[in-house]
Chain A
Amino acid sequence: MPYAESDLLPISALQHLLYCDRQCALIHLERLWAENRFTAEGAILHRKAHGGRPESRPSGRTTRALPVRSFALGLFGVTDVVRWDPAAGGEAVPVEYKRGRPKKGDCDRVQLCAQALCLEEMLGRPLGRGEIFYGRVRRRVAVGFTPELRRATVEAAARLHDLIGSGRTPQAVPGRKCDRCSLRDLCLPRLGPAAGSARRHFDRSLDALLAGEGPTD
């Protein structure tokens, strides 16, 4: 089902979704944002990637900060770099810049694939591969847009639309990734049903306080 222009969601939200449903909802539903070292470094890297002019090199012409969208996926975004590969008849090769190192999960590849699917829809021709440049290890990783990756991307986009459309922020599932999350202090991952009843906690604390002799510090 093709989406309307007003329903398009940012491609960057896919990454948040794959990292954590609640993080995605806090950023895109609750409109909360907090910087930490990781996000600040990422922002600087992207400013650099978007800042330059188009260049022509033997490896091909490059375009920076190209706006893209797909009505089929319901996504829009901006690619860091698109390389037009002369060796492949001028085929578009999207390049994404990441501050860290290659991750175990799919999230960087899905984000790149979403850009590719947007480009395909706008250019009207298929794309075979893209690249992710990892800042920490200064290495380019080639990503083939395989049927599996395409399927994962389409599924993630549909899940994103479900989450945002529901208007509900899911409960936190606390885990190790919370330690690296810049939204930790706004999310309060330990709250939720597992933390017990705030009502009971307040009632008990109040009784203890009123029965006591007052603060001692």
Chain B
Amino acid sequence: MKTHLNTLYITTQGTYLGKSGESVQVRAEGKVLAQLPLHNLEGVVCFGRVGCSPSLLGACAERGVSVSLLTQHGRFLAAVRGNTSGNVLLRRQQYRLADRPEVALDVARRIVLAKVANSRSVLLRAARDCVAGDAARLDTLRREGGRLAASAPGLREATTIDQVRGLEGEAATHYFGAFDALLSPSASAEAFRFTGRSRRPPLDRINALLSFLYTLVLHDARSACESVGLDPCVGFLHADRPGKPALALDLMEEFRAFVADRLAFSLINRRQVSADGFEVRENGAVLMNDATRKAVLAAYQQRKRETLAHPFLEEQTTVGMLVHLQALLLARWIRGDLDAYPPFLWKG
């Protein structure tokens, strides 16, 4: 397993990636911009018009480095992956378990419970960091945190996947209701006001930021599924739909709040992104500019290097490794090493 989790993100249009010995060479306008050894690279993500040489693609496939091609704005287009991992027996067992409603319900319930608990932890952690005197924010964070905790018994007793999804939706409403309170008052509060979840297209700056971060986490979740041999498109909580990476989306639920949302708000609160780093179009659609996108990518990579103790494995790891470890635990449960899949719980 890769321990460095370095992902090479290429955002400059017209860049060409070639292979030079055992490394990736990044070229643009006839100049070599960077050269990175393949052996400590986990993935290469190309945004927009970026070329890759066939020999580089082959070398990446052989060494288990995933290469993903996204649009300039981060929508997934295609990926090149090798043949090294992937066990047909594991996949078959995954399909069998996903086809059993009682098994799917059991996993889905635990995934949503972890999502709710981790969302609550993000709110309570922000409450702890609130300066005294900011009573309104503090009150919102604690109140919605309490409502999230209150949804746990219902989730535990849910008897169908649809009930689980319904309760997940209710919990999400409470969580998003506290989003404005996650902004520190000094941040340009008006420009970053949350107007409700919107994706296609994002209708405010927070949504533009979140959508992009979710794309990055989803990319990592998808790679993690594939590297342990699971089919990223057959999930438990998320229903099958052609082209939808349902299992990667399942795996991502545990990390949305802890990894993506926290990062989005800390980028704003620490003024690492600013209101004018976003473009508001005529119809209200909001897009990030290139500089903001680069700042977010750098911060995300930085975040992935932070260390923490894994609650179940009781080993030190990094934020970036978490999604791989969870994919591995998922595979271990599917192959019968574990009696259940234990989603990640952020204990802080």
Contact = CB atoms under 8 A, between A and B. Distances in A.
A33 B84 contact: yes
Contacts of A215: 121, 124-125, 346-348
Interface of A: 29-34, 167-169, 171-172, 185-186, 188, 190-192, 197-199, 201-202, 205-206, 209-210, 213-217
B110 interface: yes
Given A186-B1, A216-B128, A216-B348, A209 B341 contact: no
A214 B121 contact: yes
B335 interface: yes
Most buried by B among A33, A186, A214: A214
Nearest to B149: A210
9 contacts: A30-B90, A31-B86, A31-B229, A188-B313, A198-B312, A198-B333, A205-B345, A215-B348, A216-B128
B43 interface: no
A32 B89 CA distance: 13
B10 to A, nearest CB: 26
A209 B345 contact: yes
A197 B340 contact: yes
A185 B325 CA distance: 9
Interface string B320-348: 00000000110111011111111101111
A59 to B, nearest CB: 36
Nearest to B114: A206
A34 B1 contact: yes
A202 B110 contact: yes
Given A33-B84, A198-B340, A214-B127, A186 B328 contact: yes
Contacts of B124: 213-215
Nearest to B308: A217
Contacts of A169: 335-337
Interface in B102-138: 110, 113-114, 117, 120-121, 123-125, 127-128
B302 interface: no
B88 to A, nearest CB: 9
A185 B1 contact: yes
B271 to A, nearest CB: 23
Contacts of B245: none
A197 B337 contact: no
B19 to A, nearest CB: 19
Contact of A197 (B89, B113, B339): B339
Contacts of B89: 29-30, 167
Which of A172, A205, A210 has the most chain B CB atoms inside 10 A of its CB? Answer: A210
B117 A30 contact: no
